[in-house]
Structures are given as C-alpha cells and as structure tokens.
C-alpha cells in the first residue's frame, strides 16, 4: 500500500492490493462497518469531551488508539470515559443533533449493498446512543456497540455490562462480524469489512474484502482497498 506515517507524498485517491477489479458483488453476503470517522464524520467521544472542556485530552488518546500507538483499546476507552464523568446527557443529545453527519456516499453505499441482498452490520467501539440512530438511518441488520452508564442525567464514566460484554474492541468486532455471517449462512470470504482505525484491523483481516476509508496509515497499509479521496460509494466502482 501507499503511505507510511512519515511519508509526505500525496495519497493516491484509490489504492488496490491483492486483486484486480471489478469484483462480483454477488460473491458477498454481508458488509460490516465501523461507525466513527467511517460512516459518520466525527469521533463521538471527542465531541462529548468538548462539552466537558476536555476535547484535546480525550482526542489525543483517541488518535493514538486509532493509529495503533495504544494497543489496548479497552484501556484507552476506559481512560477516556473517566474524563467524561459528570457530563450531562444533554451533551449527547447536542452531539447527535448538531455534530453528527454522515460521510459522503455512506447512504448510497448502504442502499446499493442492501439492494444487492447483503446484510449490514454496524460494529462500533462507540456508543449505543449514536449507533441506534445511525443503524436506523442506514438500515443496518445487526448492531454492536457500547452502552454508556447514565445516572441522574449524567455520565458516570463507566459502561453498562451487556450480555456479550461491556467493550466492543477489535476482537469483539471480528467476533460479531463472523457470528452474523454464520447466522445468515455466509463464509468469512463473503464478508466485506470497512473501517479507518487500528481497532478495525481484526475484522478487516478476517473478511474476504477489507476496505480502509480515509484511514490511519497502519490501516491503509493492510487493507485490500484504500479509499483516500471521495466518498464511501467509491467502493461501488470496484463491485459489479
């Protein structure tokens, strides 16, 4: 792949690795998506932190985790959540209302994939407060994300334990994608995985087609497809 963290050369708009397009869309049955900075243009936790006046501190940890410089995602998330203790639930509503925007081509890609019969999975290290909205808007069939603990209208700095665990990290994203594939009778090679950060690499490595969208260098280097310019729907240029 093009690019490294020290390179200053411009990125190619669309980089392919390990195959010759076009691919047959009919070869795939499931597509799994990261949410923050992939389907949507923001990192929700950073925007929540802005309400607490701690955006720079939280965003620095987010960036390091997404670049793969912090390898323990669970620890990085707990560190960030601790900084959000006491933030009001209204701050979440404000982020959803005023800051959350879909990335270009997200809706078009999801519509096209669903029209072709694929099932869609949203797997996020973010929060159900936002994934519920995104999943409903894009017609996701399966969703996994983290549940913020809210007491008396404010964040406690902790997460709610769910029946699968409390933190959706890279391994949980991979496990969820493969479990959904098995549920619909698909093999891993019939899966597409789309993400931007190091936390997405486990599921991308298990999928038949891995797609990096405006991603961190480590992710671009390992993905089969790197979309460095334009919208998510550029993936449709490779699928027929």
Separation of alpha carbons 237 and 153, rounded Å: 46
Separation of alpha carbons 198 and 71, rounded Å: 8
Could you say which of 34, 46, 169, 196 is catalytic?
34
* Paired tokens of 78: 């707990």
Mode of pairing for the β-strands spanning 30-33 and 14-16: unpaired
Is position 36 annotated as part of the catalytic site?
yes
Burial string for 145-154 (b: 16+ CB within 10 Å, else e) reads bbbbbbeeeb
3-state SS class at 218: helix
Tokens 């209208």 belong to 153
With contact defined as beta carbons under 8 Å apart, do 232 and 213 qualify?
yes
Separation of alpha carbons 138 and 9, rounded Å: 35
* Paired tokens of 24: 């047959």
Is position 169 annotated as part of the catalytic site?
no
Separation of alpha carbons 86 and 153, rounded Å: 9
Q: What's the length of the chain? A: 240
Share of the chain residues as helix, strand and coil, in percent rounded to the nearest 5: 45, 20, 35
Provide φ and ψ at 42, rounded to 5°: -120, 165
Could you say which of 27, 36, 98, 141 is catalytic?
36
Residues labelled catalytic = 34, 36
């Amino acid at each position: 792949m093009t690019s490294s963290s020290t390179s200053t050369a411009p990125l190619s708009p669309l980089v392919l690795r390990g195959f010759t397009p076009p691919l047959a869309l009919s070869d795939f049955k499931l597509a799994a998506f990261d949410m923050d900075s992939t389907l949507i243009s923001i990192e929700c936790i950073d925007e929540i932190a802005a309400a607490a006046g701690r955006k720079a501190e939280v965003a620095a940890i987010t960036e390091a985790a997404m670049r793969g410089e912090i390898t323990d995602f669970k620890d990085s998330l707990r560190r960030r959540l601790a900084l959000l203790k006491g933030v009001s639930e209204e701050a979440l509503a404000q982020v959803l209302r005023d800051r959350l925007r879909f990335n270009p081509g997200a809706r078009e890609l999801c519509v096209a994939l669903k029209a072709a019969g694929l099932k869609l999975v949203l797997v996020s290290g973010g929060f159900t407060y936002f994934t519920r909205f995104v999943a409903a808007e894009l017609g996701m069939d399966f969703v996994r994300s983290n549940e913020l603990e809210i007491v008396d209208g404010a964040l406690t700095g902790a997460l709610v334990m769910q029946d699968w665990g409390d933190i959706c990290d890279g391994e949980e994203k991979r496990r969820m994608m493969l479990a959904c594939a098995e549920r619909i009778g698909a093999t891993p090679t019939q899966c597409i995985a789309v993400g931007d950060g190091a936390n997405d690499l486990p599921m991308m490595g298990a999928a038949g087609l891995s797609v990096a969208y405006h991603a961190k260098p480590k992710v671009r280097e390992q993905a089969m497809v790197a979309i460095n310019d334009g919208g998510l729907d550029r993936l449709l240029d490779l699928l027929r």
